[in-house]
Amino acid sequence: MELTLAIAIGVLTGSGVWLLLRPRTFQLIIGLSLISYGVNLFIFSMGRPRFGAPPVLLTDGAINPADYTDPVPQALVLTAIVIGFATTALFLVVLLVSRGLTGSDHVDGREPR
């Protein structure tokens, strides 16, 4: 599972960085989204992912923490997803405004000569 997760994070982030360096605004926003997916998975993986272990303590009695997975990264991922979603939406609006004002989807607002 670690290998699959690592490859997924690597592919997402790598593609994201490549797209980020492209000159079109649409490529830019897709690149940023891919990077943020990669980063979210990365945060998740920092809690030592395990199969079948609940993150929430259920019993009132004595608790063995080793039976549970770390809930903190999951909470962090949720926050990061929400914030990433909001900023991407905001960025999308700016892209559209830029397209409307300049008539070009180049990040500099004009085509390279």
Partner 1 sequence: MGWADQILIAPIILPLVTGALLLLFDERRHFLKAMVNVVSTLLLVVVSLVLLNFADAPVGNGAATTGVYLLGNWAAPFGIVLVLDRLSALMVMLTAVLAVASLVFSLARWHRSGPHFHTLFQLLLMGLNGAFLTGDLFNLFVFFEVLLAASYGLVLHGSGALRVKAGLHYIAVNLAGASLFLIGVSLIYGVTGTLNMADLAVRIPAVAAGDRMLLEAGAAILGVAFLVKAGMWPLGFWLPNAYSAAAAPVAAIFAILSKVGIYVLLRLSLLFFGAEAGASAGFGNSWLLFGGMATIGFGAVGVLASQAMGRLAGFYLLVSSGTLLAAIGTDSVAVTSGALYYMVSSTLTVSAFFLLIELVERAQDPASDVLAVTMEAYGDDTDEDDIQDEVGVTIPATLAILGICFAGCGVLLAGLPPLSGFIGKFAMLTALFNPEGLAPGGGIAGGTWVLVTLIILSGLSAMIAMTRAGIRTFWAPIEGTVPRVRVIEIAPVAFLLVLCLALTVKGGLAMRYMDATAQSLHAPASYVQDVLSAESLPGAKTEAAQ
Among 47, 55, 69, 74, contact with partner 1 (rule: CB under 8 A)? 47
Question: In whole angstroms, how close is the CB of 80 to partner 1 at the nearest point?
Answer: 6
HEC letters along 44-103: HHCCCCCCCCCCCCCCCCCCCHHHCCCHHHHHHHHHHHHHHHHHHHHHHHHHHHHHHHHC
Angle subtended by helix axes 25-45 and 71-102, to nearest 10: 180
Residues in the chain: 113
- Convert residues 62-101 into a mask of x (bound to partner 1 by CB under 8 A) and - (unbound): ----------xx--x--xx--xx-xxx-xx--xx-xx--x
Q: Provide the token pair at 77.
A: 């991922």
Among 6, 7, 11, 46, contact with partner 1 (rule: CB under 8 A)? 46
How big is the CA angle at 31 (ends 47 and 50), to the nearest 5 degrees? 15
By CB under 8 A, residue 43 contacts partner 1: yes
Among 108, 111, 112, 113, contact with partner 1 (rule: CB under 8 A)? 108
21 DSSP 8-state letter: T
By CB under 8 A, residue 7 contacts partner 1: no
- The site for partner 1 (CB under 8 A) is made up of 20, 25, 28, 32, 35-36, 39-40, 42-43, 46-48, 72-73, 76, 79-80, 83-84, 86-88, 90-91, 94-95, 97-98, 101-102, 107-109
